[in-house]
Structure 1
């Protein structure tokens, strides 16, 4: 099974920059996007063979997630836990016979860390939700998680300590989640490799010089570890300030 995840930073803009070419070329079973930045009816994607599930933010031109899948889910849930909606459209869960797919766009703490308390509350509620799902069947959790977990996950670690996306609190939440029975699939396959990033600032020449952060992830239940065939980053794909990431699992839906 092939899974793709991409923060498209506005699906309408990304479509104009080649999104559909990549989408059809990669031919994934599941393609998750974050930061769609659109409302219902603002974009029509011709994705033959795929079902489309969208979670729109109430605020126009902001946040939002979607999943495009070849496989009909048993159920679809929008929100965390008992919530059935979420104003910022940040999460979609698809249930299948053998796993849950959870697509997430994690709130950014903001440059001045004004949203850090909101972010940490989100992390706690999401971790509880993921553990509840995992108790029923394995999960595949993906998206823009807005944190570089370790120092090898960003280019300039020392100068970014304490900054949004690299605070002690955010990194600790990731550590705690992984310790509770989940694995970062990219680090599982590439434990010590450096200079692998998924996001770059739009500042001049930053992407060309690969001064980036790895903040997009596929995280799976520990018991799926031996089923991880491929975990890779498509750094050559443009169209957003993020690039797509890919996971291949030897499982059935």
Structure 2
């Protein structure tokens, strides 16, 4: 089984860059999208393409148009889909969507960025505190859980091209990295690092200064799987050659 996580930075823009031809070629079973920036009512042509590829599709948009939003595309119909997390401000921003299947649950997550200033950084910390407690409770009912998406945090220095110069940058702040460490150690596997300890693997690049061509990136997109799923993990690959966004996809393979 192949599961892709991809922050598309606007599904309409990504579609014009060949996203759906690429998705057809990957033949993934499930796809978690972040930052879709659209209501499904706004994109009938894209919905038709998705259905032609054989996917059931579920969307959780932000109230603010052209902002945030997550989706799950799946060739296997879920038993249940949970829209949001019950926290009003988070759900208004369309950040959490979960699909439950027979043997596991899959969540598409888009964590806030704090890069626009102190106010949003404070909301990011608020989200992190809430999410930690939310997932702790959720795992009691759903122990086999994969949380796929854009966490907007680099966990360790190996996950960012220049850790020294970015030490005070949102996404690599000590408090964020400590949260990621605690969150993972509370029963999750960073599936990419489970298989690959090499440096220079990133999932996001700034549009500035030719960063992508120079591979000056950040690894902020993850498939975190609960430890109960360790024996199901087969492989994980970052796919930097997919260039429909400022992010690239991450492919998880399960036995």
Question: What range is the shorter-chain TM-score in?
Answer: over 0.9
Instruction: Quote the Cα distance in structure 1 between the aligned partners of 2:69 and 2:162.
Output: 29
Instruction: Quote the Cα distance in structure 1 between the aligned partners of 2:240 and 2:24.
Output: 17
Question: Under a length normalisation based on structure 1, what TM-score does the superposition of the two structures give?
Answer: 0.94
Instruction: Quote the Cα distance in structure 2 between the aligned partners of 1:85 and 1:95.
Output: 21
Structure 2, unpaired ranges of 5+: none
Partner deviation per Cα, 1:139-172 (whole Å, 9 max, x = no partner): 0101011000000000010000121100111111
Instruction: Quote the Cα distance in structure 1 between the aligned partners of 2:133 and 2:102.
Output: 21
Look up the match of 1:37: 37
Residue 147 of structure 2 is aligned to residue 141 of structure 1:
yes
5 Å matches for 1:207-222?
Answer: 207-222=212-227
5 Å matches for 1:194-205?
Answer: 194-205=199-210
Compute the displacement of 1:39 (Å): 2.0
Compute the displacement of 1:81 (Å): 5.0
Partner deviation per Cα, 1:97-146 (whole Å, 9 max, x = no partner): 22111110000012433322211121122122222222223101010110
Please say if residues 34 and 64 of structure 1, whose CA atoms lie closer than 8 Å, have aligned partners that are also in contact.
Answer: yes
5 Å matches for 1:87-166?
Answer: 87-136=92-141, 137-166=143-172
Look up the match of 1:17: 17
Residue 58 of structure 2 is aligned to residue 53 of structure 1:
yes
Structure 2 CA distance for partners of 1:168 and 1:41, relative to 1, 3 Å? same
Look up the match of 1:175: 181
Instruction: Quote the Cα distance in structure 1 between the aligned partners of 2:217 and 2:123.
Output: 25
Structure 1, unpaired ranges of 5+: none
Instruction: Quote the Cα distance in structure 2 between the aligned partners of 1:85 and 1:157.
Output: 29
Matched pairs, number: 249
Please say if residues 111 and 163 of structure 1, whose CA atoms lie closer than 8 Å, have aligned partners that are also in contact.
Answer: no
SS class of match (1:207): coil
Compute the displacement of 1:239 (Å): 1.1
SS class of match (1:86): helix
Please say if residues 50 and 70 of structure 1, whose CA atoms lie closer than 8 Å, have aligned partners that are also in contact.
Answer: yes
Compute the displacement of 1:78 (Å): 1.3
Instruction: Quote the Cα distance in structure 1 between the aligned partners of 2:181 and 2:233.
Output: 20
Structure 2 CA distance for partners of 1:82 and 1:201, relative to 1, 3 Å? closer
Moved more, 113-122 or 230-239: 113-122
Instruction: Quote the Cα distance in structure 2 between the aligned partners of 1:17 and 1:216.
Output: 21
Please say if residues 95 and 111 of structure 2, whose CA atoms lie closer than 8 Å, have aligned partners that are also in contact.
Answer: yes
Look up the match of 1:6: 6
SS class of match (1:120): helix
Partner deviation per Cα, 1:211-240 (whole Å, 9 max, x = no partner): 000000000001212221111100011010
Question: Would you tell me which structure has more helix in proportion to its own residues?
Answer: 2
Please say if residues 80 and 125 of structure 1, whose CA atoms lie closer than 8 Å, have aligned partners that are also in contact.
Answer: no
Residue 160 of structure 2 is aligned to residue 185 of structure 1:
no
Structure 2 CA distance for partners of 1:111 and 1:158, relative to 1, 3 Å? farther
Residue 28 of structure 2 is aligned to residue 28 of structure 1:
yes
